[in-house]
Structure 1
Amino acid sequence: MVAVSVVCIYLVAGAALARLLLPRLRMTARLWLGLSASVFLMMWLPALCAFVFGYTIQGELIALALLGLFVLCGYFLRDKRERRMADEVDKRTIRLILTLALPFLIYFCFVQYTHILRPVDGGYNTGQATYGDLPLHLGIASSLRGAKLPSDYSIFPGQRLAYPFLTDSLSTTLMIFGLPLGASIRLAGALMFGLVACGVIILACRWTSSKGAAVLTVLLLFLNGGLGFLYAFDMAGVSLGQMGQNQLQQGVWLDRLKNIVDGWYQTPANHAEFSTYNLRWSNILVDLFLPQRTFLGGWMALLPCLYLTYEMFQEKQGLRTTLFLGLMAGGLPLIHTHSFLALGLCTLGWLALDFIKQKRLNIFIILYGVIAVALALPQLFTFTFGQVGASDSFLRLSFNWVNGEGGLKDSVLFFYLKNIGLPFLLFILSLFEKNSHWRFLYMGALFIWLPAEFIAFQPNIYDNNKLLYVAYLLVLPGVSEYALMLYKKLKGVGARRLIAALCCFVMFVSGGLALIREAKSDYSMFSAADCETAAWVEENTEQDALFVTDTNHLNPVSALAGRRIVCGPSLWLYWHGFDIAKRESDLRLFYENPELGKDIPKKYGASYILLSPDELYRYSVDEQALFDRYEIAFESEDGSTIIFEAP
């Protein structure tokens, strides 16, 4: 398959670049950095070409030529020192990758299969985590085909696409080379998560002094969850709740477990009743990496940057490492802006601590920062800041993350204790140890946590967790080593293993339940008529055609066919800072009184009008007026969906 061959070309090129420029790094780290750079370049090179040629086959071929030029430059700039060979640390890392990263990757690929456009009875099904966010990413990936940059939102034409889109445009590239939409999303996701899982293990091995601590670090990240499970166990013999109200305590004994694994957002890691339980520390694997693809792409590029930044503080690195790091860091804003911010804050924290100790600034860190900022500023000014400046809901003071909305629901420390659980308590206790390595990592975490604790960086304050999870990653090595230190100090205590088992249960049960729940979840996303409609739209309309439709987020025209619509859902657009009230009122007027609203399709440049069960559900549609005024261009086999041509 052509798309797979193109992926392989990028992977080989990235591995070659790392081999040429970073020969003195450990073999496992070097290979991982090279493969991460491959996916990074597969996002960025077609995007650069798209400013001139659009996302077209011509642009993609030129991007491949640029890739060859990158490798050629890498050859001429190569580090001629002898390549570092694999040692026992590399072998241990490979074993951990096979025993830890591979199982998590298999799980991730499974839930991608069940959640991303899984064919069922002519339609597509999804899972709980992806029900809300997936159509946004499908729409961006499918709408960018043929589009030049900068492009508009396909769900809000006239407004520049400022949402970090490079993770989704990776799937656009795969589609251009022949993969269908669902397969392109799944392949890109598998590539990125595989690199993230390997990266977490490589960082854990670098940041801890034992295999046990590295393993615990990885598990605490991917199985995070907190103490919310205690609500489900509390008074389990008495039903204290009902559907939608105190539901985590609905039923008795096994009924409560069934509610967790079968109910809509009933897991103790991320419960739907925010005001009742205040459980918001979502499991990072199924609630972030799986549905929030920009977060996944951000970590794919962020982890290599953290690794190289750390190395630059530990021992002198050359100009090649600085350039490699500066390039990847500078490309982060259009992949994931929060990851770029987290990296910058972490670097500042480490730089401040290093300056206090060394009484001088690390010139290579300064150079890396200059390169990264120089590359990032055009992205921020061209895309990000325009959207931020258009809304007053970005950048505001907000204390204690989501706990502080409308006044503290829990005390500050108890909020973090019940949400993060035992790792938070171990972190607090570890602060009393005089361990310079832990404190170095903690300083980076502190510089991320403080702004995230006091400032909302976007309309949805919950999204500050995209900063907080990076801080969490940075404290986990110290937490893991401290936990194992306590275990060793219990030597001679007969119940030591039982204590350890109970601690593991407390740390992993909420996250484990989240993984089980997600693997079981199954919901209809697009009907057979939706898929039939999308297929007709793709085959019979121009790529830039615009449709009048309902604002439902499960829109086959925008999500599956990648066509523009007048207005998408507030579910996304409100949190992106847009005021959509006028377009919503125009759509209501048009569907409920087509005669009075006859100029609305022309106002927005629409060529087609969709009439489906969604429009009939949301509006009191004057169907007869639509049939009298407009010609039918398409009708689904079951008659439920009709597309009219707008003159």
Structure 2
Amino acid sequence: MHRPYPVVPSTALAVLATVAALAIAYLVAPLAVIVVWPVIMFLPGWALLTVLRPPIAATGLIGLAIVISVVASTHLAWWLGLAMGGYSRLTVFGVTAILLCPVLVWIARHPTVPAAAILRAVRRARSDPVPWAIAAGSGLFVGLILSVGLWRSTPTGVVAGGWNWSDLGVHLSIVQSLNAGNFPPEVPYFAGVPLTYHWFSDFHAAIIASSAEIFGVQAMVAQSAVLAAALSLLVHGLARQLLRGPQARRAAAIATALVIFGGGLGWMRLVGDLALDRGDLVSLVTNYSYDNQWYDTLGQVNWPHFNIPSVMGTGLLAHRATAAGLPIFVGGILLLVAGLPPRWRRSAGLRDRWPLILLAGGLGALLAPFHFFYFPAFLAVAAIYVLTSGRMADRATVRNALLFLTPYLLAVPFALAAMQQSQGSGALKLVAGWETAPFEDGAAAVAFFYATNLGVPFLLALIALLAPATRWRWFLAGWVAVLFIAPNIVQVSVVAFDMNKLFQTMWIAVAILAAWLVRRWPTPAIAAVLILSVPSPLLVAAWTATSDDQVLSASDLTAAQWVAQHTPQRSVFITDGWLNSLVDAAGRLRVSTYGPYVANLGYSPDERDRQVRAIYCEGSTDVAVSTMQDLDAQYVLDGARPAECDVPTAFGSDERFVEVYSGPGPKIWQLRGAVPE
């Protein structure tokens, strides 16, 4: 008689499966796409929500699964990196193991639960496919635009479309330098000072890139597509949570479309330019934004002004902090609404769900390093919800407040550093009107500015607020009012224009209100609303995909590859201070960039600019050596030099400078004996 084979516990099998899958993906990097990426962008959040089973629409649940996983994996990588004394690819796989192992153990012990959850989601998708189609379309659209417009190779080098021409260097330098040892990060384009910035979206992109050993741009494109889909799902989920009754499903779909693809009336400038024969359609769309356009086709600042970008125009296609911060913001509000029912529903027997309140506070707290602007905005909107739902003062108030606010202890290091930096730089100040709006032209001009920049959805939202039957009228009114007023009374960054990000958060409530108002309108009337609202975001997307401002030349690319392969990690370069540099793509650090970008972090660029000019343009290698030592810099990029460089320094005349790269493109000099710390 044979002895029975020992039964391996399901828990042990799950752990073994986790270890085996991660080991294989670590050795075969492309497999990380199917092993690691689902974990850091979906699986843990989905498992948690499947256990909690919150009363949220399936769209909202999937969107929440994405943002919870993104937030958890990024913060876990941060703390694990600090604990291990550095961040590396091994850190990424450690994070994945920590998140994946309990999920697989849970699945092994309760195999029917996740299977049932998947079947429920499929049934719901079949019963209402429209929001899923909008979400899929949103992700694919953003992914497609960025895949052709964020980093496009040409025979002469690399071009980036739209606002990414100016923003790419900031984000790419963070992603690439993190994966080259810049942890805890210094400002990669202002080396020597800590990175106090909402940089966690770039950190998550670095995690994605590191896991599969791919270039940072590819990770940024994939991440942006997923987050755009998540935003679409979350807006729909929130609208379904707030809106009830006939046509609520239709209203939620309209709101989703308006958030992702809606905008103001900037497209009117295109109509005017065509009427004035200032160019053909293709050339105008390729060269001008028509959504947040500062100058007309003659290079002048003229009426009408269109300076408030749409969610698509800046939030999803250029400003990476918003691409992550906005869905996290909406996800936190959705959890709060689902977990803390209003007084009248609680009186009817609906109970508070403390895990959802705790999770809502957690998302709001951990939002801080993803988006500093949205961190206080989330608290403001959450407070408005508690007040308007009648839950500000009842027997459960203290308990719920503790549940919601306790996670904010995790935000203290990030929020405190940002606040100190903003106060110290003088960026935090009260203002009498948003600087970008034309207040000098009078009240009528300001009203016209906001009406045309925010467009048809905003006007419809204002009308909806006048209707007593509007669902959650006071909550949504408070949401709109606070985030509209805030940019007009306070400024928290050196660049006043950056306050426009709060209008994009306001846009969520605007879209829900507008959608509720038009939900019963005939289809042609709703189509007219969309036709008037979507051209500007679509035009800026076309501009992003087709404009061809050069980021790096072909010779710069060759030099960047050399730098990445032949210089130590954390090496510091002297560059000419332009906003794009081959050093960014190589993942190394540089001492200066475009001045306003430095000032926006709370640092003064003036002294650093003087030092860079002294190195390049005082004609003294002694001064160059001394200044580089002061800056802890090891290399000089000798191509373009600062403007009006009358006495160029001849680095080759001093044996203390060793020519380590002679082209094509710029020369690179190393300060003899200098090594990064």
Counterpart of 2:185? Answer: 151
In 2, are the aligned partners of 1:459 and 1:575 still within 8 Å (CA)?
A: yes
1:187 to 208, 217, 222: 222
1:3 alignment partner AA: A
Question: Residue 34 and residue 104 in structure 1: after superposition, are their counterparts in 2 closer, same or farther (change >3 A)?
Answer: closer
Q: CA deviation at 1:174?
A: 2.6
Corresponding residue SS for 1:547: strand
Corresponding residue SS for 1:458: coil
In 1, are the aligned partners of 2:291 and 2:308 still within 8 Å (CA)?
A: no
Q: Does 1:67 align with 2:88?
A: no
Deviates more, 1:36-45 or 1:328-337: 36-45
Counterpart of 1:492? Answer: none
Counterpart of 1:578? Answer: 603
Q: CA deviation at 1:362?
A: 4.1
Alignment of 1:465-504 (within 5 A): 465-485=500-520, 487=521, 497=524, 501-504=527-530
In 2, are the aligned partners of 1:534 and 1:560 still within 8 Å (CA)?
A: yes
Q: CA deviation at 1:506?
A: 2.4
Q: CA deviation at 1:361?
A: 6.3
TM-score (norm 2): 0.83
In 2, are the aligned partners of 1:23 and 1:81 still within 8 Å (CA)?
A: no
Question: Residue 36 and residue 159 in structure 1: after superposition, are their counterparts in 2 closer, same or farther (change >3 A)?
Answer: same
Q: CA deviation at 1:601?
A: 1.2
Alignment of 1:222-237 (within 5 A): 222-234=260-272, 237=275
Counterpart of 2:304? Answer: 277
Deviates more, 1:59-68 or 1:388-397: 59-68
| Cα shift readout 1:376-411 (whole Å, capped 9, x = no counterpart) | 123212x31232132012233241462156675853
Q: Does 1:346 align with 2:381?
A: yes
- Distance, in Å, in 2 between the alignment partners of 1:207 and 1:293 is 28
Give aligned pairs, total.
617
Q: CA deviation at 1:552?
A: 0.7
Question: Residue 438 and residue 567 in structure 1: after superposition, are their counterparts in 2 closer, same or farther (change >3 A)?
Answer: same
Q: Does 1:565 align with 2:577?
A: no
Counterpart of 2:648? Answer: 622
Question: Residue 594 and residue 420 in structure 1: after superposition, are their counterparts in 2 closer, same or farther (change >3 A)?
Answer: same
2:322 alignment partner AA: F
In 1, are the aligned partners of 2:491 and 2:499 still within 8 Å (CA)?
A: yes
Question: Residue 505 and residue 26 in structure 1: after superposition, are their counterparts in 2 closer, same or farther (change >3 A)?
Answer: closer
Deviates more, 1:339-348 or 1:624-633: 624-633
Deviates more, 1:11-20 or 1:165-174: 11-20
Counterpart of 1:243? Answer: none
2:353 alignment partner AA: G
Q: CA deviation at 1:554?
A: 1.0
| Cα shift readout 1:347-386 (whole Å, capped 9, x = no counterpart) | 11112222389766645641343124222123212x3123
Question: Residue 271 and residue 484 in structure 1: after superposition, are their counterparts in 2 closer, same or farther (change >3 A)?
Answer: farther
| Cα shift readout 1:533-567 (whole Å, capped 9, x = no counterpart) | 1111111111111111111111111x111211122
- Distance, in Å, in 2 between the alignment partners of 1:475 and 1:437 is 12
Question: Unaligned stretches of 5+ in structure 1?
Answer: 240-250, 489-495
1:7 to 37, 56, 78: 37
Counterpart of 1:542? Answer: 568
Alignment of 1:500-515 (within 5 A): 501-515=527-541
1:581 alignment partner AA: D
TM-score (norm 1): 0.87
Q: CA deviation at 1:626?
A: 4.3
Q: Does 1:39 align with 2:70?
A: yes
- Distance, in Å, in 2 between the alignment partners of 1:229 and 1:148 is 42
Counterpart of 1:286? Answer: 313
- Distance, in Å, in 1 between the alignment partners of 2:511 and 2:426 is 35
Q: Does 1:205 align with 2:216?
A: no
In 1, are the aligned partners of 2:364 and 2:375 still within 8 Å (CA)?
A: yes
- Distance, in Å, in 2 between the alignment partners of 1:573 and 1:145 is 22
- Distance, in Å, in 2 between the alignment partners of 1:609 and 1:269 is 37
Q: CA deviation at 1:313?
A: 3.5
Q: CA deviation at 1:269?
A: 4.8
Question: Unaligned stretches of 5+ in structure 2?
Answer: 1-29, 342-349, 673-677
Counterpart of 2:286? Answer: 262
Corresponding residue SS for 1:403: coil
1:118 to 149, 152, 176: 152
Q: CA deviation at 1:423?
A: 1.8
Corresponding residue SS for 1:160: coil
Percent identity (aligned): 19
1:561 alignment partner AA: A
Q: Does 1:373 align with 2:373?
A: no
Counterpart of 2:173? Answer: 139
Question: Residue 446 and residue 24 in structure 1: after superposition, are their counterparts in 2 closer, same or farther (change >3 A)?
Answer: same
Corresponding residue SS for 1:325: helix
Counterpart of 2:27? Answer: none
Question: Residue 457 and residue 317 in structure 1: after superposition, are their counterparts in 2 closer, same or farther (change >3 A)?
Answer: same
Counterpart of 1:164? Answer: 198
In 2, are the aligned partners of 1:438 and 1:477 still within 8 Å (CA)?
A: no
1:527 to 548, 553, 558: 553
- Distance, in Å, in 2 between the alignment partners of 1:173 and 1:398 is 42
In 1, are the aligned partners of 2:636 and 2:670 still within 8 Å (CA)?
A: yes
Counterpart of 2:460? Answer: 426
Give the superposed CA RMSD.
3.2
2:515 alignment partner AA: S
Deviates more, 1:521-530 or 1:602-611: 521-530
Q: CA deviation at 1:334?
A: 0.7
Q: Does 1:49 align with 2:73?
A: no
In 1, are the aligned partners of 2:288 and 2:543 still within 8 Å (CA)?
A: no
Corresponding residue SS for 1:156: coil
Question: Residue 575 and residue 406 in structure 1: after superposition, are their counterparts in 2 closer, same or farther (change >3 A)?
Answer: farther
Alignment of 1:92-103 (within 5 A): 95-103=129-137
Q: CA deviation at 1:154?
A: 1.7
- Distance, in Å, in 1 between the alignment partners of 2:530 and 2:103 is 46
Question: Residue 527 and residue 221 in structure 1: after superposition, are their counterparts in 2 closer, same or farther (change >3 A)?
Answer: same
Corresponding residue SS for 2:661: strand
Deviates more, 1:225-234 or 1:52-61: 225-234
1:174 alignment partner AA: I
Question: Residue 278 and residue 36 in structure 1: after superposition, are their counterparts in 2 closer, same or farther (change >3 A)?
Answer: same
Q: CA deviation at 1:70?
A: 6.2
Counterpart of 2:345? Answer: none
- Distance, in Å, in 2 between the alignment partners of 1:617 and 1:93 is 63
| Cα shift readout 1:245-273 (whole Å, capped 9, x = no counterpart) | xxxxxx26xx36445402243x1553435
Q: Does 1:450 align with 2:485?
A: yes
- Distance, in Å, in 1 between the alignment partners of 2:414 and 2:558 is 38
